[in-house]
Amino acid sequence: MTATTEFRLPQLADSVTSVRLSLWLKQEGDRVEAGEPIVEVETDKTNVELEAPVSGVLRAIRIAAGVEGLEAGVVLALIADASADDGAVSAPGSEASEQGPAVAIAAVAPMAVAPPPVEVEPRAAAPESGDIAATPIARHMAGVAGVALGAITGTGRDGRITKADVERVLADRIGISVTSGVPAVPALIDDDAVVRSAGRFHDEELSAMRRVTATRMQQAKQTVPHFYLRIECAADAALALLASAKQLRPDLSPTVTDLVIRASALALRKVPRANSSWVDGRVRLYEDADIAVAVNTPTGLITPIVRGADKKDLAAVATETQGLFARARDGRLRPDEYAGGTFTISNLGMYGVESLYAIVNPPQSCILGVGAAVSRPVAVGNEVRVGQVMVCTLSADHRVIDGAVGAELLAAIRDHIEKPGLMLV
């Protein structure tokens, strides 16, 4: 009997619970070599190419491109010995009971899963107070326009009045018909009741990364008791150090982000309580400073990690971030390069933003926001001079650390930024 190998989805990382099959790089009947990429899957953070476990012929693709919610262990395809014929491979669907209904459907009739319909009109999570249920924006629009809610027929869930319902009533009053397609109904856009054309628009489907980021950030803001601290750092010495490093190593050129990574890692070594997370009702303290950095990509934010940053000098950090950031923007990070992390940095200084208050990235207890270095009058002894000042803000989980610990951490970060020589010892 001809040998056939099941090509199964591996466990990519502990944090990856399911993936989407993006693209088959080989087709049924194609010859594949062991170690050759044959399929691409999409996690919530990046795309990963999976390699053939053996050499042979790709006889049967069990999961079609576009199928979502795939878990580790599911059979993606069958690879037969090169001498196998079609009759030697079990018929697609024979393992449906083992893999579950979703896989069985894909095996019998491979197809992409259509995205769910997009609801243009948002709904409130719960009925509004009062006798008449309406979404907040509908209630506001009706109040501004002087329209009684009782005169509006709601078409939302359970008869709830929506923004579209209010616009329909307003359109009827001014003699404009409502049609499908491009909105033609004027919409109230502010408290002055200015009526303008809604204009053309299109709805953009979220990438898996943006969907997960949106969900996690909403949960974090709702469930994590944030507190915020702000500190100003004299940045002249740090900027001078970076300029000198650029002259010595034009190919490397450490950045402000690299310097803040190093400063934060050393500060966490001094204030280990802040190098922590909230896990199942307990505080978990980490021994290594694994610094995650928020990077903007075409598909959303991702946080590649510089592991053991407290044990690496500035040059090593700069070398590592250059590779991590490039792979992040190309969507080629491995799961182990972004999963985990004990502390996060978000730097928007390159966009001219002077300060930001970021949302904690659970289960971590802290995230540091870094602003641009700007020229300001600063007191030096009894004199006032113009210096470069950079604002750092700490957002922290009050379940894990208190204000004193956060203040101690920020002070340690400032010390290393203002005296960058400390990072060399």
In this structure, what CATH number is given to the domain that contains residue 391? Answer: 3.30.559.10
Res 179 pLDDT > 90: no
* SS3 state of residue 7: strand
Do 101 and 147 have their domain in common?
no
- Provide mean pLDDT across the span 54-75: 90
Q: Is 398 a catalytic residue?
A: yes
Res 332 pLDDT > 50: yes
pLDDT digits (tens, 9 = 90+) for 79-94: 998 764 444 444 444 4
Predicted confidence at residue 86, as pLDDT, reads 46
Do 237 and 381 have their domain in common?
yes
- Provide mean pLDDT across the span 293-316: 92
| pTM (predicted TM-score) | 0.60
Do 146 and 288 have their domain in common?
no
* SS3 state of residue 345: strand
Res 354 pLDDT > 90: yes
Do 370 and 345 contact (CB within 8 A), yes or no? yes
| Residue that wins the pLDDT comparison between 246 and 208 | 246
> What is the span of the domain harbouring residue 10?
4-108
Distances (CA, A) of 349 to 371, 374, 392, 413: 4, 10, 10, 17
Do 311 and 166 have their domain in common?
no
* SS3 state of residue 135: coil
Do 257 and 159 have their domain in common?
no
Predicted confidence at residue 174, as pLDDT, reads 57
Q: Is residue 125 in some structural domain?
A: no
Residue linked to tokens 């590649």: 304
* SS3 state of residue 76: strand
Do 295 and 416 have their domain in common?
yes
Q: Is residue 213 in some structural domain?
A: no
How many domains is the chain built from? 3
Predicted confidence at residue 166, as pLDDT, reads 84
- Which of the residues 140, 202, 226, 398 is marked catalytic? 398
Predicted confidence at residue 2, as pLDDT, reads 66
Predicted confidence at residue 127, as pLDDT, reads 42
pLDDT digits (tens, 9 = 90+) for 366-393: 999 999 999 999 888 889 999 999 999 9
Do 242 and 376 have their domain in common?
yes
* SS3 state of residue 3: coil
Q: If we measure between CA atoms, which residue out of 358, 328, 339, 361 comes closest to residue 216?
A: 361
Predicted confidence at residue 69, as pLDDT, reads 86
Predicted confidence at residue 214, as pLDDT, reads 87
d(CA 185, CA 172): 10
Q: What is the dihedral of CA 355, 360, 361, 367, to 10 degrees?
A: 50
Do 242 and 348 have their domain in common?
yes
Pick from 74-78, 201-205, 222-226, 413-417: least confident:
201-205
Res 126 pLDDT > 50: no
pLDDT digits (tens, 9 = 90+) for 159-176: 888 878 888 887 776 554
